[in-house]
């Protein structure tokens, strides 16, 4: 719903694309920066407890978002909302791993993928309808009673505080990882902003690289690290994580930019924008259970690689759309993107989780979610950067908020460039997925 609302938030606060994208970026950045910590804590305090607390914090953050008087407050409220989201994402896959036997893990994750896609399906269509009838603020209000209701159910249903790990928390590593992500994301998102100097970008970029190097050094020496680096010595595991990052980089470049094309170029009302964007989650809903079953039968390498290839093809086709391209054709191309993502996600996740010990399941689940959100973060930053560089160059420094009908040609050129960049990323992800090799159990 928030991605659909971005053009309307931009209009309401009259903000630039570089500033408005932080409504999404801060959410993804916070989740990515804290997921490993919450996974570590879930193994220590109990996965059900962390998941339930996350639901409550998410609901309160949603209430703050709905009340936001300005863009800065909205971004801050999205930070608090993201803390709750990170807690749920870190604990959720590990809870599923505990509930399903290893030989049915792919099917279990496929069913969860179906449930997730139901939420994703309702988001664009319901969000578009609410944007026509009311304000974007209602989108946040809607999740408040839902979060509180499901927190009540979680308290009653989820397992008690079983501890899988009793060692110390890696506070230093957590801080270094968060600093690295914040500084590197800030650099990527502000490269095209005219207010930032080369010196400022060099300082933030260099600081981010230094923090990342410190994080790796800290984790290599920690007896109980936040990130178990030895897991990456396994090529199958490491390339599965890399392909997950690249998969979501592709997806979120599309999710960021296509609503702007539907709004600015085609002039569709919010409800129709939501219906077009519905193509991605609807295909995920149909294919996710099948993908999980195929993963258990055939193995993750072939299915995951096929999925990323199909998704990349869909993005490449999207990079050819014009001002006269009908919404139905765009929806068909989005359907292809969603189909590929569904084929990739649950087999790849099952492949990662089936190769870790029980005491590291929380950390591995958090790493998977970190890879997913890091990909989302990079996808938004990459797409916004390429689009802004093209659009500014072709319009003598204008931002997307200044778009007028005479800028349509410049918009399409910028859109094509950004989507071609996403397609290239998809090709890299497809190669990484294939070259992971075949694991001993076929996954």
**How many other C-beta atoms can be found within 10 angstroms of the C-beta atom of residue 217?**
12
pLDDT of residue 233 exceeding 80: no
Range 124-139 average pLDDT: 84
Q: Are 53 and 150 in contact (CB under 8 A)?
A: no
pLDDT digits (tens, 9 = 90+) for 343-352: 898 788 877 7
Q: Which of 290, 313, 302 is nearest to 348 (CA)?
A: 302
Mean pLDDT for the stretch of residues 132-148 = 90
% residues pLDDT > 90 (the chain): 34
Whether the pLDDT of residue 110 is over 60: the answer is: yes
Residue 369 confidence (pLDDT): 73
The reported pLDDT for the residue numbered 442 is 46
Contact 29, 371 (CB under 8 A): no
Instruction: Flag whether pLDDT at 298 surpasses 80.
Output: no
Q: Please determine, for residue 357, whether its predicted confidence score (pLDDT) is greater than 70.
A: no
Q: In the predicted model, is pLDDT for residue 325 greater than 90?
A: yes
Please give the model's pTM, rounded to 2 decimal places: 0.75
Q: Which residues contact 404 (CB under 8 A, 6 or more apart)?
A: none
Residue 49 has pLDDT above 60, yes or no: yes
| pLDDT mean over 299-315 | 90
pLDDT digits (tens, 9 = 90+) for 73-87: 999 999 999 999 989
Judge whether 246 and 370 are in contact, CB under 8 Å.
no
Q: What is the pLDDT of residue 242?
A: 92
What mean pLDDT is predicted for residues 297-326? 91
pLDDT number for residue 161 = 62
* Mean pLDDT of the region 412-440: 89
| Average pLDDT, integer, range 204-218 | 91
For the cut 50, the answer to whether the pLDDT of residue 441 exceeds it is no
Per mean pLDDT, which of 194-198, 223-227, 340-344 is the most reliable?
340-344
Question: 162 pLDDT exceeds 80?
Answer: no
| Predicted local distance difference test score (pLDDT) of residue 387 | 93
Share of the chain above pLDDT 70, in %: 88
| Residue 81 Cα to chain centre, angstroms | 15
From the list 439, 113, 425, the residue with the least C-alpha distance to 302 is 439
**Cβ contacts of residue 300 below 8 Å, gap of 6+?**
106, 240, 347, 348, 350, 351, 439, 443
**Banded pLDDT at 266 (limits 50, 70, 90):** very high
Whether the predicted pLDDT of 411 surpasses 90 = yes
CA-CA distance, 35 to 69, in Å (whole number)? 29
Task: Give the tokens for residue 375.
Answer: 């990909």
pLDDT of residue 114: 67
Q: Which residues contact 260 (CB under 8 A, 6 or more apart)?
A: 6, 7, 400
The size of the chain, in residues, is 443
Q: Pseudo-torsion of CA 228, 230, 234, 239, nearest 10°?
A: 50
Nearest one of 148, 42, 27, 146 to 88, comparing CA atoms = 42
| Contact (CB, 8 A) for 31 and 48 | no
The confidence band for 166, taking pLDDT boundaries of 50, 70 and 90, is low
- Residue found under tokens 């599309």: 254
Cα angle, residue 373 at apex, residues 411 and 49 outer, rounded to 5°: 145
> What is the residue-averaged pLDDT of the chain?
84
Residue ranges of alpha helices (H) inside 134-234 are 137-157, 171-190, 198-221
């Amino acid at each position: 719903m928030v991605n659909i609302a971005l053009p309307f938030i931009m209009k309401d606060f009259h903000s630039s694309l570089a500033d408005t994208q932080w409504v999404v970026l801060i959410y993804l950045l916070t989740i990515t920066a804290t997921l490993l910590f919450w996974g570590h804590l879930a193994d220590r305090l109990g996965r059900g407890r962390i998941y339930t607390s996350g639901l409550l914090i998410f609901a309160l953050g949603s209430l703050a978002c709905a009340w936001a008087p300005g863009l800065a407050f909205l971004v801050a409220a999205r930070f608090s909302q993201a803390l709750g989201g990170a807690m749920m994402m870190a604990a959720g896959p590990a809870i599923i791993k505990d509930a399903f036997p290893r030989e049915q893990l792919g099917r279990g994750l496929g069913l969860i993928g179906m449930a997730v896609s139901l939420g994703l399906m309702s988001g664009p269509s319901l969000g578009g309808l609410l944007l026509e009838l009311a304000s974007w603020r209602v989108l946040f209000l809607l999740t408040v009673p839902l979060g509180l209701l499901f927190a009540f159910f979680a308290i009653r249903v989820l397992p008690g505080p079983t501890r899988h790990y009793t060692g110390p928390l890696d506070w230093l590593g957590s801080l270094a990882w968060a600093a690295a992500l914040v500084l590197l994301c800030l650099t990527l998102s502000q490269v095209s902003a005219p207010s930032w100097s080369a010196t400022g970008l060099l300082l933030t970029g260099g600081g981010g690289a230094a923090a990342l190097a410190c994080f790796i050094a800290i984790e290599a020496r920690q007896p109980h690290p936040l990130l178990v680096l030895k897991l990456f010595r396994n090529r199958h595991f490491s390339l599965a994580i890399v392909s997950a990052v690249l998969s979501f980089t592709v997806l979120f470049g599309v999710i960021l930019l296509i609503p702007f094309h539907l709004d600015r170029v085609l002039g569709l009302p919010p409800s129709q924008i939501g219906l077009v964007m519905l193509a991605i989650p609807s295909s995920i809903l149909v294919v996710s259970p099948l993908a999980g079953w195929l993963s258990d039968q055939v193995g993750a390498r072939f299915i995951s690689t096929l999925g990323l290839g199909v998704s990349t093809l869909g993005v490449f086709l999207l990079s050819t759309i014009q001002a006269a391209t009908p919404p139905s054709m765009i929806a068909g191309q989005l359907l292809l993107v969603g189909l590929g993502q569904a084929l990739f996600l649950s087999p790849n996740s099952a492949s990662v989780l089936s190769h870790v010990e029980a005491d590291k399941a929380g950390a591995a689940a958090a790493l998977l979610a970190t890879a997913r959100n890091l990909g989302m973060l990079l996808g938004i930053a990459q797409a916004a950067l390429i689009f802004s560089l093209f659009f500014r160059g072709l319009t003598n420094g204008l931002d997307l908020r200044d778009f007028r009908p005479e800028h349509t040609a410049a918009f399409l050129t910028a859109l094509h460039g950004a989507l071609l960049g996403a397609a290239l990323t998809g090709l890299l992800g497809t190669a990484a997925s294939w070259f992971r090799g075949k694991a001993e159990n076929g996954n």
